[in-house]
Structure formats: structure tokens, C-alpha cells
Amino acid sequence: MDKFIIEGGTPLKGTIPISGSKNAALPLMAASLLGNSASTIRNTPRLKDIYTFNNVIRVVGAQVDFKEDENTLVIDPTNVNHLEAPYDLVRKMRASFYMLGALVGKHGYAKVSMPGGCAWGPRPVDLHLKGMEAMGIDIELEKGYVIAKADDKIDGGTFQLEPSSVGATVNLLLAAVLKARKFTIENAAKEPDVVQLCNFLTKMGADIEGIGTDTLTVKAVDSLEGIEVSNDPDRIELGTFMIAGAMFPGSELTLTGCNPDQLGGFTDKLRKTGTSVEVDGTTIHVKAPDKLKPVSIKTEIYPGFPTDLQAQWATMMTQAEGDSKVTDTVYFDRFSYVPELTRLGADMEVEKNTVHISGKTPLTGASVMSTDLRASVSLVLAAMVADNHTEVLRIYHLDRGYESLEDKLSAVGASIKRVDGD
């Protein structure tokens, strides 16, 4: 099992290109199965989750051609004939559960394993199933599998998501666009990933009203056709590198291929730390302040502060001059990184869904490990400002969500190398 060895204490200077979004690409991949012809998704990142989902899609009979050197993915669904997504693949990532909506939406039947993914927090799929039942889809649970059945056309209806959920919104859209005569999702997620999916489906021929709002109304169409699109840039990768550029005095990063509008309230919060952030079209320039100011944040659904950036923000706050706190209102127990950061010297204490941070604390290298994707990258950020060298274990989490992380960071001055963990 690979690990990173990182020598800290070096400012970052240079340019980092932002990759395509994993979280945006996965729904598009599932939506491709709804078409009567092949779809092409450009700007698809080379990530473990993408490869895993490619294999899930291949299992059902679709042809998948990932042109890695071009970051281009072609999915041809015309030979889909095995309407089951097995446990051994679905357990590896939660987004595989999108197969439920895609298969029952197109073929009227799906048998999909209950999902896996990051080992933290209760993220139940109840909303997905209750929403489909409200739509008129028959749902059964059998030995760890969900079996969904639907007639050629179903009436639809209305379902309110409580709480708002990106995953449930995606799955309900996939199920509805070919099946439900009229189906309305209330309190729908408004994240860029959902907006991109709605635009993708509409371009395929779907009838969706309210795109970009919290009320989406779908009216079934008879068929959808494959299309060619370019995937959105990864706003979480962008935010992570903006934080990396703010943490160490003397750092200056230029980030290219961005969509600054998708950062929500993050950019304003970063500027309050004293960090210089200049936006020029699809390019963002970040310059670290001499002294980082403490800024407390609370995660919210989009366009609020993203939960996927809270671990990185808390790590940055260990280097701020004063006290701060980070509260996660989306997932209450997403703080597995805190004990590991305290091993490096951070002064942090978790109380319910809030971590209290006392800064500035010098960090010193040690061996650390993590249990999820964003916590892992927060340890990399900490290691780059810590004295001496740090070993970050279990970096397979990072390979799920950050394309060529060590290469991008090494190119701007970080001392980071991947070695065999054994």
C-alpha cells in the first residue's frame, strides 16, 4: 500500500492546472446509459473512482472506451442487457448506486447492491428509495440488494428531499426522465454537479424545468440520444489548492482551467484570512499573507461553504494567528483527521459537530493516516508546512479524488514522493 513522504517548510510557487470534476463526471457517466447512442465526456479525470465506475458500467453490457491521454470517455449503452450492479464493485464507491436510477429509468428493472465508499458518517440511501417509491417505482430489499421495477410509464408525483441531497437528486432525475409522466423534486440539490447533469440530460432530449433552483420538474420523453460534452472543472480540487497557496508565507499559486463561480461562498471566506485572491476569467491567482487571520466557517448546502473543504480549512486554521472553529452541518462526524493533526502538533478539540482550533501552532512531521478522501488531503497540506518529514499512509483515498496530486504539488515546489508503504 503506497504512502507519501513529504518534507515540509517550503513555499509553493508556480502554476497548477485544475482537473475535471469526479463528482460531476460520475452522474454524467450514469446518465449516458439512458441514451440510444454513445455519449462522449471530455475533461474526465484519471481517478480510481472513474475506473471503478467504468467497470460497473461494463458489467451491465455497455461499451466503455477511456482515452486517458485525452481525458476523454466514450460510453456506448446500446448493448446493455445485464441489469445488475454487483456488491464487489458497488461496495467500492457510493456513486455506483446511481446505477439504480439509470437502469430502472431506461429498462424498467434494476438490481443494485447497497453502496460503500468513505468510512465515515451515516449517509443512508433512504431518500433515494423513498423518492423512487413516491414516483411509482416498486422497491424491494433482498439480501443486501435493492430491486427496482417500473412499468413503461408511471404517473410520478412530488417528493420533498429532507435534507437536500445531491446523490438522491441525481438518482431521482435518472429514474424520472424516461419514466415519470410528471415528477417534481422539492428541496432539490443546486450544486454545480446537479446543474451540469440537468443540462446534459436536457441536451440528450429530456424535459426538465427549474434547473439551478431547488424545485425540479421532470416530464418523461420517449427517448434520449447520446451527446458530446465537456465535464466541469473540479471545484473541490480548486479550493484545496487555493488553501495550499494560502497556508505558507511566501507561497504564490496560479490555478488554471477554473470555474470561479462554482466556489460559492468559499472565495470571500479565504480573502478574510488576508489571502490575496485575484480572478481573471478561468484563472485564479492566490498569494499567501504574511500572517494568516483566523476565520471560522460553517458548512452548508450549496452555495454555502462546501463540506468537502472543511477538513482543509481546519488544517489551514492551525496556522492562523488566533482561535477559530469549523462546524459541519452537513455531516456531523467528519472529523477523523483531527487526532492525526494533533499528532503533528495541532491544538484542536472536537465538540459534537464542531472542531475548535487554537493557532498558530508549529507542526512537526510524524506518521499519520486517514480514513477518507478529504481528510487525507488535509494531512498532505499539514505535512507541507510541518518541520521535518511526514509520512501520510493510506493514500489510496487520495487516488479516488485527486488526479496526479503529487505531480502537481511537486511542480510548484513541494517535496513529496510516493513510495511503497511496505
Residues labelled catalytic: 118
On whether 22 is known to bind a ligand per the annotation, the reply is yes
Residue in 198, 183, 128, 111 with CA at minimum distance from that of residue 153 = 183
Tell me which H or E stretch contains 299: strand 297-299
419: annotated binding-site residue?
A: no
- What amino acid is encoded at 136 in this protein? G
Q: Is 398 annotated as a binding residue?
A: no
Q: Which residues contact 25 (CB under 8 A, 6 or more apart)?
A: 41, 44, 45, 50, 73, 231
Q: Which has the closest alpha carbon to 298: 346, 272, 261, 331?
A: 331
**3-state per-residue secondary structure call for 222-283:** CCCCCCEEECCECHHHHHHHHHHHHHCCCCEEEEECCCHHHHCCHHHHHHHCCCEEEEECCE
**8 A C-beta contact, residue 359 and residue 379:** no
Which amino acid would we find at residue 268?
D
Does the annotation place 249 within a ligand binding site? Answer: no
Report how far residue 300's alpha carbon sits from residue 302's, in angstroms, rounded to the nearest whole number: 6
What residues does 330 pair with on adjacent strands? none
CA 228 to chain CA centroid, Å, is 22
308 marked among binding-site residues: yes
What 8-state DSSP symbol labels residue 306?
A: -
Buried b (16+ CB within 10 A) or exposed e, 262-301: bbbebbebbeebbbebeeeeeebbbbbeeebebbbbebbb
Residues 6+ apart with CB under 8 A from 355: 314, 325, 326, 335, 338, 348, 349
Please indicate if the annotation marks 23 as binding a ligand.
Answer: yes
| Residue 377 annotated as lining a ligand binding site | no
Q: Is the peptide bond before 124 cis (omega within 30 degrees of 0)?
A: no
Q: Is 127 annotated as a binding residue?
A: yes
C-alpha cell at 7: 518534507
For residue 364, what is its C-alpha cell?
A: 512537526
Residues belonging to the binding site are 22-23, 94, 123-127, 308, 330
Residues belonging to the binding site for UDP-N-acetyl-alpha-D-glucosamine are 94, 123-127, 308, 330
Residues belonging to the binding site for phosphoenolpyruvate are 22-23
